[in-house]
Amino acid sequence: MEHVKKRRILFVAILVLSMVLVGISTVSAASRTQDVYLPYDVTVKSGSSAYGFTDGDRWSAIYEKIMGTNGTTKQTIWHSEDGSSYYTVEASRALTGMHTYIYTFKANGKVIYQGENGKMDAAIIAKLYDRKLIKTIYSGTETVKDKTFDGPVEVEQGANITFENCKFNYDLTTYGVSNVSNSTFTDSTAINKGKGITYITDTYFGHLASSSSFYGKTSSIVGVKIKSNRLADATKGMAYTESLNFPDFSYTYYPGSFSPKVTKKMHYDSINVVGNLPTGLVAGSASYDAAAENTVVKISGTPSMGGRDQKFNVNFKEGVSKLDITIPMLINVNAYSVEYKVLGDSPAGFTAPSTVTGIGHGEVVNLNAAPGKIVGKKNGVHGVWEFTGWSTDKDNLEASKTTSLNVMKNTTVYGKWKFTSDKKPSITKPGNKRGPKTGDSNNIGGYLLVLGATSVILAVVAKRRGSWKE
């Protein structure tokens, strides 16, 4: 019987645990992928920098890209007749003259172009795609670590995703919240859409810069490391100054067609704010300090509007390496508030005024007028409520009343209601004085009557006892 009892206890425990676990709702991200296609870059020219020449022959460029000739990277080109189906493009060419080629491009067994180099059909080019990409879409809440994204990444509205030590080779687009740390962006950037916000710490934004000469070819990633994309907080109505510092970066390249490879420190040719800074703030021109090997951009002014996580972008350019990167930035413009609090009891129906927000430093705020007298009850007693007024000193309300404030910080004002009963006290009429109560208010005549009756009974009893003894 003992083992049966133990089994029953174990069964109950398992049942209870199952019920508890079923009742727990875990929050996790839901990620999914979809195929996207990168449109062909019509600005690409024929040839390769490895061979020191370029020309404007677009069909030749497309052919070379497909076939992987002249030092270009072989990539799949896709073609869509209706925008819904994609096919691998087959390319071929035939030499018909001293410098004339006939190019043939097929997709899904059909010829999409055939003609001489130099002849271009814009409608055909518009249907060409460099390659197929995998787009990753995140929703919910999740931490993503040590991942490389070769395709676009999107964080949906309502999602909050943390990216740690990730590599982005295509743009990160955020509609919700992205937290990026210790990561790298190569020829890509973080983009905020709608109400999306991206918080960035210790992350590198770089450009894959290639260079070549008679001596060979080299490539390296150049760019800028962002310690944080959030500027120091500003305050509405208060003068603000912040210096953004961007150190020089090293670039290894060939200065000319027959020059050996060199490594030099580069600074940015231009650093420009893209979009609007908070109203009242301006960005000065980038200033280069050669001794410190540092480029400084000064942001200053007096902001006139508060707001959290106000967004703007900063663009970095450097001509030799062909760096051109835009990075999202954030700034908080804090504002003060005035809160109303009432101490103690209040008359029925009264509510304290709402908190006033968005107040600038040194701004004068007129307080809500103190309410007038209110006829009402307190604990069932009729009377009148009277308000003391507003004060910043809750321990000394009467002597420190004020009707306006010069706001220098978040402030709370206090007030208190006083209640006076309208019940009149009882008044004793002359000639009807009564002595103090001594603990019993019964009539003395009643006591005397009871005492007399008791004496008679006792006398009768005593007489009967005497007759019994005889």
Decide which of 3.40.50.920, 2.60.40.10, 1.10.3720.10, 3.40.720.10 is the CATH code for 140-334: 2.60.40.10
Examine domains 140-334 and 336-421 and report if their fold is the same: yes
Q: Per-residue confidence at 25, pLDDT binned at 50, 70, 90?
A: very low
Q: What is the pLDDT of residues 378-425, one digit of tens each?
A: 998 999 999 989 999 999 988 889 999 999 999 999 999 999 998 766
Amino acid 39: pLDDT: 84
What does the H/E/C string look like for the chain? CHHHHHHHHHHHHHHHHHHHHHHCCCCCCEEEEEEEEEECCCCCCECCHHHCCCECCHHHHHHHHHHCCCCCCCCCCEECCCCCCCEEEEEEEEECCCCCEEEEEEECCEEEEEEECCCCCHHHHCCEEEEEEEEEEEECEEEEECCEECCCEEECCCCEEEEECCEECCCEEECCEEEEECCEEECCCEEECCCCEEEEEEEEEEEEEEEEECCEEEEEEEEEEEEECECCCEECCCCEEEEEEEECEEEEECCCCCCCCEEEEECCCEEEEECCCCCCEEECCCEEECCCCEEEEEEEECCCCCEEEEEEEEEEEECCCCEEEEEEEEEEEECEEEEEEEECCCCCCCCCCCCEEEECCCEEEECCCCCCCEEEEECCEEEEEEECCCECCCCCCHHHECCEEEECCCEEEEEEEEEEECCCCCCCCCCCCCCCCCCCCCCHHHHHHHHHHHHHHHHHHHHHHHHHHC
136: confidence class by pLDDT, cuts 50, 70, 90: very high
> In the chain, what are the domain boundaries?
32-130, 140-334, 336-421
Give the model's pLDDT for residue 38.
85
* pTM (predicted TM-score): 0.74
Supply the mean pLDDT for the chain: 84
- Among the listed ranges 292-306, 314-328, 425-439, which one has the minimum average pLDDT value? 425-439
Mean pLDDT for the stretch of residues 146-161: 97
pLDDT at 351 over 50: yes
Digit-coded pLDDT (tens) for 422-460? 876 655 555 554 544 444 445 555 544 545 555 545 554
| CATH class entry, domain 336-421 | mainly beta
58 pLDDT above the threshold of 50? yes
